[in-house]
Structure 1
Amino acid sequence: MVVGLGTLLSSLADDHPRVAKKITELLIPSYFPSKLPLKEACARCIALIKRSPAAGARFCEFALSEGSSPRSLVEFIKVSITLALSPSGLNSAQTDGLVIASAKLIKSLSDEGSSLVALREYFPNAKLKLLFKTAVSDGAQAAVLSMVPAVSPDDLCVLHIECMNIIVNAAVTSKQEECQEALLAAHKLVHLSGRSDEMFEELTNILQSKASYFSGMYGLEPPSCPVASTKRKKGKSLKKTPARSDDVDGNRSSTSAILSNEELTAVGGAAWQLNEILKAEEMRAAFLRSYAEIAFSSLKVISQVYIEQCLHFESLDLSPVFAYLSLATYSALQDVDQTYMSCSEQ
């Protein structure tokens, strides 16, 4: 039975890693042959990525393990990035395919010391910033962010502004699926750079502000605003945003008011991100140390309002409720751990 190239590329792009690895083994002699001059081998792999960006990127993921030399892959990364940054007539999918393929290769070369030295020389900060601007899709932006620890280990903050823009812009929408990869990559990079307090404060302030507004509208107890932790060295202090009396036409206890879907989804993004942060052990520990109280009291108010409002909508993003339950669970587990440790020390 003869299988067409189109079928192979479709499986390479979407199938199980074991299957994709086997297909890469079959395609290596044709699309990155070691017996040809490196320039021609690179051209063949570029042609594969142009034909099918997703399959080409997956091919690069397994190229090292299937016998391609680290030196040749470093050169291919340079060719790919140069092409992605040039006005070469590529469409956005092809450009993003080159970026994602390069990121996968960089990840596979992370244990190759000499290769990393060459890549760090090739990726000055200005080039990383330009590459991020060039990336169009969520996956390509996430790919650029994932490169930073490998190619710029001495300046993990090189794309900090870009990370915070992703986080803040996504915090007031319920469409996280459109930028999920980039969001999670931004969370990770901000944390690795030691500036997670800024991320935590931005998200917590959004939740606290909305909770204050909701509490004024529904006559609920407003969220607490504890004194900023002394551990917050670089970030802004948490803001207390009292509900304005004119927000509800002077009626503080307007329990019959129905919020618009836009008002409710405005906190969905921040809550979704908080829930993801709580899933990551190191970020969760950092968040619980200084931000649990204000986030918990804010999410409590928001969840009360969501539960009441759900009767008025056919569908509603319940991220704030899930985040509230997650935070309550992890906070309780942390208290249990601390109690156990205290008893063990006695």
Structure 2
Amino acid sequence: MKEIKAIIRAYDAIEPGTHAALATVVRVEGSSYRRTGARMLVLDDGTWIGGISGGCLEGDALKRARLAINNSRATLITYDTTEDDPHQIGVGLGCNGIIDVLFTPLDLKNKHNPVEILKSCVKASRDIHILLTITHVEGDAGDLRAGKVINYTGPESLTDFNSEVIQKQILEKVTFQISESKSAPAQFTKPDCHIEIFVEILPPEINVILMGHQYDVYAMSRLLKELDWRVSICGDILKINPQTSSFTDEIVSNSDFDKLTIDEHTAIVLMSHDYKTDKRNLSRALLTTAPFIGMLGPKVRSEKIWKELADEGTQISGIDMERIYAPVGLDIGAVNPEEIALSLAAGVKAAFAKRDGSFLKYRETPIHQRK
């Protein structure tokens, strides 16, 4: 989401008379530094924001984007770095994958161009957005053209495909990708046309609620905001470092906890450094739907809190224990507030990505799922 927001800011600042194109990674087979959904905004003066690789494809992408602008037509380009061809862009740089990139010229007056649709998603509620990007069309597909992006909100969003057969196929694919929480390319065929699309599952940014007011909240919020996560602090407002407000979306008092945004993408971290406060806050956190509840401090301290709550009649269920992370964070030997913040952020990211946070050198399967 951070890259998308940067692209939107650059897009909104485009000077009159300047032309632009959007490059989007719509398919990856094998290894690639960036995955599907990576984007790069290119202006006709050579300025670019975002990225579609680790730097090996950007040079050629600038040329392709300018061609798309000049031709006023979206173009799908395949970069194959698996072939031992010295003339192939990206070969020898270690990617060893096949990457499809869609270059779409942007009509800045069209309020339904791809970047405008991204803007509507960012401005909307914290729902998961599903975007359908047309990447290739053959035959009679009506008004559908490569580069068109459809913000899917239900079966009624598929009327542009003008075919009940293809609409049904797309609906089944979209439903599957939503259940998997993964983006993926897809293709659909009927006798008179062939359509390829990129089904993108676009979740909101991770939302972190820090419950505390000590000085380490400042380091934590600063790092989390650098990741462009949504950050809220709940604590004693009078004791929170005033500079912290620059790195938070909102700061509320303990009495306003129930007013905070809490959804399936939310992590709550208890870090008041006060035993009774953390105990009370754990009870409040457990009443929410947050899938991640972190507790700062040694495990023996957390276990004592759990036992006391059970003795008082608040038994923590097995399901709730699965969403409690205590001690919170990954074991990286963190000592100071900044290192602890790094450990915590990595732990939250690992949990939401359903990873164990261990060294990649010990992973026996590819880092990313391969086709």
- What TM-score do the two structures reach when normalised by structure 1? 0.25
Greater share of strand:
2
Query: Which structure is higher in helix share?
Result: 1
Q: Provide the TM-score with structure 2 as the length reference.
A: 0.24
